[in-house]
């Protein structure tokens, strides 16, 4: 596995853990992140979506899909921008930016390995 593929693979594992946490134990995870507990279904739906994304990342890494690696670099920076805008517009709590920074750091790691 190339260094770029490894960075994408590790990010996929991170996404798998986040997705599983939101799906299976959201009200244990949310307070740790300074988000309110919820009884709504949205967080579990997000867990499924993030889990599916994790699968894409892991499969792409295992198959050295360079075009996917480049696409993730762009989109992971877009996540930081999007989350920052939501916070700036008071549509989301500031802690959301932490997830955006994690995405951006992963993008930088992948870019440096390309």
What residues does each domain of the chain span?
Answer: 3-113
At 33 the pLDDT is 83
User: With contact defined as beta carbons under 8 Å apart, do 103 and 95 qualify?
Assistant: no
| Interatomic CA distance for residues 82 and 98, integer angstroms | 12
At 114 the pLDDT is 92
Supply 105's token pair: 């750091």
CA atoms within 13 A on the CB side of 5: 11
Which of the residues in the chain have pLDDT under 70?
Answer: none
At 54 the pLDDT is 98
At 79 the pLDDT is 97
Q: List pLDDT tens digits, range 54-68.
A: 999 999 999 999 999
At 50 the pLDDT is 97
Q: List pLDDT tens digits, range 14-25.
A: 999 999 999 999
The residues, ordered by sequence, that sit 6+ positions from 38 with a Cβ below 8 Å of its Cβ are 26, 27, 30
Q: State the distance between the two ends of the chain, measured CA to CA, in whole angstroms.
A: 12
């Amino acid at each position: 596995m190339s260094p770029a593929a490894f960075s994408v693979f590790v990010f996929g594992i991170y996404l798998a853990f986040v997705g599983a946490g939101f799906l299976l134990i959201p009200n244990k995870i949310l307070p740790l992140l300074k988000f309110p507990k919820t009884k709504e279904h949205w967080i579990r739906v997000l867990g499924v979506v993030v889990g599916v994304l994790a699968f894409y990342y892991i499969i792409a890494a295992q198959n050295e899909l360079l075009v996917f690696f480049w696409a993730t670099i762009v989109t992971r920076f877009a996540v930081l921008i999007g989350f920052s805008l939501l916070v700036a517009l008071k549509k989301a709590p500031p802690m959301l930016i932490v997830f955006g920074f994690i995405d951006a750091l992963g993008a930088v790691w992948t870019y440096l390995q390309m």
